[in-house]
Copies of this chain bind each other. A is one copy, B any other.
Amino acid sequence: MKLSPSIEALIEALRCLPGVGPKSAQRMTLTLLERDREGAALLAQALTTALERVGRCQRCRNFTELPVCEICADPRRDQALLCVVETPADVMAIEHSGSYRGVFFVLMGHLSPIDGIGPEEIGLTELASRFHEGDLAEVILATNPTVEGETTAYYIAQQARSAGVTISKIAHGVPLGGELEFTDATTLAHALSGRTRVAEQ
């Protein structure tokens, strides 16, 4: 069936959203047109505004509307403590934990030679010069516990080591409140190999 061209175009355009297939794009389109034209107009406006205003922090590469983001510019944050993460979502998760007062460096990805993503694409040249500035007390590697994340962490650790910067890595293991039985195999393997000694006989 031929649909009206602007409905077809909207269904197609919604598929740029992650996790949205043809069926849900159609449902979204019809729902917006049927019941939430105001929401659709607000969404169009919010997209346009975000695209216009959101850029990257000059210092940490995270999204911001300012030249330097609020975290990097905050005098209460410890600028000598640098946590390296893959994405802005990771920054949000760590901030949400309320247990970190240092600053971040956001790779916006991980090394993935197959996809043409090398050190340059994820800002490792900038990160290396940061290491050589000499004002870092510690670099915390918080990439994801995946093959790509671990490879990226290993690469960065080499960079930091050659610049004489102290490196640490966040602990991976069974989540607090999680049950061993329902923990996936990779996490369990990490938890086992990263075991710490509790007491000596």
Contact = CB atoms under 8 A, between A and B. Distances in A.
Interface of A: 1-7, 9-10, 12-14, 16-19, 24, 26-34, 36-37, 39-54, 63-66, 69-70, 87-89, 91-92, 95-96, 108
A44 to B, nearest CB: 4
A32 to B, nearest CB: 7
A26 B63 contact: no
A36 B16 contact: yes
B33 A27 contact: no
Contacts of A45: 13, 44
Contact of A4 (B16, B36, B65): B65
Contact of A13 (B12, B39, B96): B39
Given A16-B40, A28-B17, A39-B16, A33 B50 contact: yes
